[in-house]
Amino acid sequence: MQYRRHYQKGATYFFTINLADRSSDLLIKEVETLRHAFQTVKQKHPFHIDAIVILPDHLHMLCTMPNNDADFSKRIKLIKYYFSYNIAKTESISSSRLKKSERGIWQRRFWEHCIRNESDYRAHIDYIHMNPIKHGYVKQAKDWQYSSFHRFVTDGLLPINWGG
């Protein structure tokens, strides 16, 4: 059975994007390269990041697409590409990836969920901001620096002591 993605112009989506090596801490070690990849893609293909958390081996983000565009797959593909292009080739690469001239950094696919309503939106923001606690990296959301949680606090949307 072929997986079919749901594309809706102007919709908000929750994404999970994983490294191929789930024991890696590459996203934290190369966080500035990842940020640059996001900036590059956003300049060419705008979208709004409502919330995000970068963990060592995966990231979660909530994004809103422009009203005239729904192609989130292109954006994620380009983020992965720009990130991969700008880091050293140290990862192991399977023979199937070698045949396709692919790097071995990212899992080939990603997970997406189209946000249905305000409570779904809020639940996914909470999930994003709680994720470093869930994985045992910190005891409080405020202690994880690679999270939009800090923007939410600055904007008065969450208290500093939220989440632990």
Q: What is the pLDDT of residues 81-138, one digit of tens each?
A: 999 998 877 766 667 655 655 667 899 889 999 999 999 999 999 999 999 999 999 9
- Residue 88: the pLDDT is 73
- CA 154 from chain center: how many Å? 21
- Helix residue spans in 13-164 (DSSP H): 26-29, 31-44, 72-85, 95-99, 118-134, 149-154
> What span, in angstroms and rounded, lies between the C-alpha atoms of 118 and 77?
28
Instruction: Tell me the mean pLDDT in the region 8-15.
Output: 97
What confidence score (pLDDT) does residue 99 get?
61
Closest CA to 107 of 20, 16, 3: 20
* Predicted local confidence at residue 94, as pLDDT: 64
Give the pLDDT band (50/70/90) at residue 144: very high
pLDDT of residue 1: 59
When pLDDT is cut at 50, 70 and 90, the band that residue 163 belongs to is confident
To the query of whether residue 81 is one of the catalytic residues in this protein, the response is no
Which residue among the candidates 3, 13, 81, 146 is catalytic per the annotation? 146
Measuring CA to CA, which residue among 146, 151, 153 is closest to residue 38?
146
Is residue 10 over pLDDT 60?
A: yes
CB 59 within 8 A of CB 128: no
| 33-70 pLDDT, tens digit each | 999 999 999 999 999 999 999 999 999 999 999 999 99
